[in-house]
Amino acid sequence: MKKNIFYLANGISVIFISYEVVGLEFVWLFLCFVAVLFLFFVWIISYFRKVKGIWIQIPLRLIGICIIGVLASLFRPYEDSAHSLGTEREQLENAYVTDQADRKYLKSYIPFLSGLKDRDQSRLNQVKSIYERNKNLDPIEKFYAAFIFHHSADSKDYKIASKLASEAAKARHLQNHYLVHWLKKAAYDRWMVSMGKPEKYNTQNKFSIEID
């Protein structure tokens, strides 16, 4: 009875933490992979010598915990992708923040669960509206806007992203801002590739879960 209560309490804790902590699902996936790999080696060893049951039970339980955690994370709702409250700068910053947060959700990479495409379009529509009204954005605002434009699927938007990112990178106070200078290169490369031209900085062949 006590053991069942213990397992139930652990399961509830895993569900709660996985639901609340964005990105934890990727940790569960990694741990699950390690556990499966461990079981594979145990299986190989079992051909040569007897293996204690605990060496099988522990990784199996870990896999169960990981599966529960991953499933719980899939029910975590997205934050609002775009809102019209606040100043233009606040709206641009919110678009950038949610853009990055969305890419830390495992379900964003599962076709039948992902809302990423629609959410990217919603942010893009909002940022385009702001940019059409105000071309005189300050450097950090240009960076926020450029990030949204470079997640479009239109070569014309990549051109705007490249222009804005390049202008943002010239700002003295952003000289040591890694993402600003990464985006300057990535947006330009994405624009070139979209037109069938070779990339200059070789940024489109690299995977980054944080910023791509």
Asked if residue 39 is part of any domain, the answer here is yes
93 and 190 share one domain: yes
Asked if residue 209 is part of any domain, the answer here is no
14 and 94 share one domain: no
38 and 68 share one domain: yes
How many domains, the chain?
Answer: 2
Side-chain-side CA neighbours of 46 within 13 Å: the count stands at 12
121 and 162 share one domain: yes
94 and 177 share one domain: yes
Q: What is the pLDDT of residue 8?
A: 81
101 and 156 share one domain: yes
Side-chain-side CA neighbours of 147 within 13 Å: the count stands at 25
49 and 98 share one domain: no
165 and 92 share one domain: yes
Per-residue pLDDT of 111-168, as tens digits, reads 999 999 999 999 999 999 999 999 889 999 999 999 999 999 999 999 999 999 999 9
Q: What is the pLDDT of residue 207?
A: 46
For residue 117, the enclosing domain spans 88-194
153 and 56 share one domain: no
Q: Using alpha carbons, select from 74, 148, 140 the residue that is nearest to residue 112.
A: 74
Q: What is the pTM of this model?
A: 0.85
Q: What is the pLDDT of residue 90?
A: 94
What band does 169 get if pLDDT is binned at 50, 70 and 90? Answer: very high
Contact, 37 vs 66, CB < 8 A?
A: no
Side-chain-side CA neighbours of 162 within 13 Å: the count stands at 19
